[in-house]
């Protein structure tokens, strides 16, 4: 019987040798691109550079500073290209009509949010998108205003409970957005859908980690995280920039008046007059876009430039990662790009920026189907909240920049604000 251990050892050795040989062959035959990137190791490529999780904005900013608007990476033998320049963004998302997000990205997202419009392959996506589009027609969205107002009041009531103590923004806004999504898109009362609902903090943490909480998780996450995450950045930024908070408060008084009608439900006409508030939302999404990565697979050989005169050949099969948070911070398109300055969206910027330099909801055929839903909900929530509260900072700007890249953008450390009721009519 002594020959059995020897046979097993030989089998394991030959299996390992065969695996190494296959991996080495894949590595030596990997696709190549004439673009800069960090040094690679045989077989594993750049995997060691990304062992520290979560992957953060800072890590990607560092790569961009070192290697520019077109950066090459290898995950094993798989070629990844990080894309930042609007010229390349335009080619990938608009000109070439690439819509396949690739199996790696979709499988990862499917683990978090289930199967749905965000994660399905290109062939099924066209059918699903056609079915979902009518749900977000402008006439239908106008009918959601009352529900959004109820959601805004829900958040205000939660903020009022804090009595000025430091509080996280994300949990109550997320729960309000879920309630709105359930009532407007699904047509179900959340209290019936989730009797004895989870505590807000537990629900917020669950969504942040991408756990599916219903058979509809894919749409639910996509339909609620945009609002919850964006408000979670807007309020701390306003707390850090009181001049813009004052400007928003003054605009709200100009639009809604200062009498007994001040706290009325916003109408579509009211929302259309809130240009300062809209610019604050746009500037927040410039710095902190909810969807930080737009993956596309090159289904054919394409040419990219990285903003230079020389073009680079990108082979078929390459996973292209368009990174809006880098595109939005390029100084040639946004002066002093690190500064929070909503005035850049109040001024006449026609002809001063690239058509693809700003893409908070994506571009092209596979852009966010619910972008108008999210924009309307954001405006209603913030109009309701800012008419009732002033916000004081509890975090630094650096805490906001310390954000993780996942299904959506999210601060690594909890971001809090202090909610102080404003003078005048009470909620």
Task: Name the CATH superfamily, with its identifier, for domain 34-421.
Answer: Cytochrome P450 (1.10.630.10)
What's the rounded Cα separation, in Å, for the pair 414 and 427? 27
Those residues whose C-beta lies under 8 Å from the C-beta of residue 377, and which sit 6 or more positions away, are: 144, 148, 151, 177, 180, 227
Q: Which spans in 182-216 are helix H?
A: 190-193, 200-208
Q: Which of 92-106, 112-126, 284-298 has the lowest mean pLDDT?
A: 112-126
What's the rounded Cα separation, in Å, for the pair 391 and 237? 9
Q: What's the pLDDT score for residue 212?
A: 39
Q: What's the pLDDT score for residue 354?
A: 85
The answer to whether the CB of 357 falls within 8 A of the CB of 327 is yes
Q: What's the pLDDT score for residue 62?
A: 93
The answer to whether the CB of 70 falls within 8 A of the CB of 35 is yes
Strand partners of residue 296? 320
Mean pLDDT of 53-72: 92
Q: Which spans in 162-289 are helix H?
A: 170-181, 190-193, 200-208, 217-240, 242-256, 268-272, 275-287
Neighbouring C-beta atoms of residue 199, cutoff 10 Å:
10
Strand order of the sheet with strand 416-421?
166-168, 416-421, 389-393
Mean pLDDT of 212-241: 78
Residue 384 — pLDDT band, cuts 50, 70, 90?
Answer: very high
pLDDT at 13 over 90: no
What's the rounded Cα separation, in Å, for the pair 387 and 248? 9
Q: What's the pLDDT score for residue 67?
A: 94
What's the rounded Cα separation, in Å, for the pair 52 and 60? 13
Q: What is the DSSP pairing of strand 78-83 with strand 319-322?
A: parallel
User: What are the tens digits of pLDDT across the range 111-123?
Assistant: 555 555 455 555 5
- HSE, side-chain direction, 13 A CA sphere, residue 12: 6
Mean pLDDT of 291-312: 88
Dihedral, 192, 290, 404, 219 alpha carbons, nearest 10:
40
3-state secondary structure (DSSP) of residue 411 = strand
CA 406 to chain centre: 8
CA distances from 69 to 32, 252, 301, 351, 402 (A): 17, 40, 19, 22, 21
- Percent helix, strand and coil across the chain, each rounded to 5? 50, 10, 40
pLDDT at 213 over 50: no
pLDDT at 214 over 50: no
The answer to whether the CB of 403 falls within 8 A of the CB of 56 is yes
Those residues whose C-beta lies under 8 Å from the C-beta of residue 374, and which sit 6 or more positions away, are: 223, 226, 227, 230, 361, 368
Which carries the bigger pLDDT value, residue 241 or residue 196? 241
- Domain map of the chain by residue range? 34-421
Q: What's the pLDDT score for residue 187?
A: 62
What's the rounded Cα separation, in Å, for the pair 185 and 222? 12
Mean pLDDT of 127-136: 54
How many helices (H) and strands (E) the chain has is answered by 17, 11
What's the rounded Cα separation, in Å, for the pair 384 and 38? 47
Of residues 255, 300, 260, the one with CA closest to residue 277 = 255
Q: What's the pLDDT score for residue 377?
A: 93
Q: Residue 322: enclosing H or E segment and its boundaries?
A: strand 319-322
- HSE, side-chain direction, 13 A CA sphere, residue 52: 7
What's the rounded Cα separation, in Å, for the pair 57 and 288? 10
Q: Residue 54, preceding bond cis, omega within 30 degrees?
A: yes
């Amino acid at each position: 019987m002594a020959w059995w251990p020897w046979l097993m050892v030989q089998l394991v050795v030959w299996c390992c040798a065969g695996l190494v040989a296959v991996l080495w062959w894949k590595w030596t035959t990997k696709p190549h691109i004439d673009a800069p990137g960090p040094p690679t190791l045989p077989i594993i490529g750049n995997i060691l550079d990304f062992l520290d999780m979560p992957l953060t904005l800072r890590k990607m900013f560092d790569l961009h500073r070192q290697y520019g608007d077109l950066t090459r990476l290898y995950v094993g033998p798989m070629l990844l290209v990080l894309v930042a320049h609007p010229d390349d963004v335009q080619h990938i998302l608009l000109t070439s009509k690439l819509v396949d997000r690739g199996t790696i990205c979709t499988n990862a997202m499917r683990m978090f949010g289930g199967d749905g419009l965000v994660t399905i392959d290109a062939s099924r996506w066209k059918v699903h998108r056609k079915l979902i589009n009518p749900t977000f027609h402008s006439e239908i969205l106008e009918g959601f205003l009352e529900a959004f107002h109820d959601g805004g009041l829900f958040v205000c009531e939660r903020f009022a409970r804090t009595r000025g103590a430091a509080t996280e923004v994300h949990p109550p806004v997320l729960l309000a957005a879920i309630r709105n999504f359930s009532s407007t898109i699904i047509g179900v009362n959340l209290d019936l859908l989730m009797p004895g609902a989870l505590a807000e903090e537990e629900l917020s943490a669950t969504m942040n980690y991408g756990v599916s909480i219903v058979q509809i998780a894919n749409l639910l996450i996509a339909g609620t995280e945009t609002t919850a995450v964006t408000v979670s950045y807007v309020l701390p930024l306003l707390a850090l920039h009181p001049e813009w908070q004052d400007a928003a408060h003054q605009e709200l008084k100009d639009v809604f008046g200062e009498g007994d009608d001040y706290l009325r439900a916003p109408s579509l006409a009211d929302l259309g007059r809130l240009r300062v508030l809209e610019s604050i939302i746009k500037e927040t999404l410039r710095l902190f876009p909810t969807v930080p990565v737009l993956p596309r697979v090159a289904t054919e050989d394409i040419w990219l430039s990285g903003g230079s005169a020389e073009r680079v050949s990108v082979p078929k099969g390459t996973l292209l990662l368009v990174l809006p948070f880098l595109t939005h911070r390029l100084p040639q398109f946004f002066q002093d790009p690190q500064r929070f300055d909503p005035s850049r969206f109040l001024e006449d910027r026609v002809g001063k920026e690239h058509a693809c330099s700003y893409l908070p909801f994506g571009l092209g055929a596979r852009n966010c189907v619910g972008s108008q839903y999210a924009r309307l909900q954001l405006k209603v929530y913030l109009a309701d909240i800012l008419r009732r509260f002033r916000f004081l900072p509890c975090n630094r700007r650096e805490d906001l920049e310390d954000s993780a890249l996942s299904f959506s953008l999210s601060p690594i450390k909890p971001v809090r604000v202090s909610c102080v009721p404003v003078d005048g009519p009470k909620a």
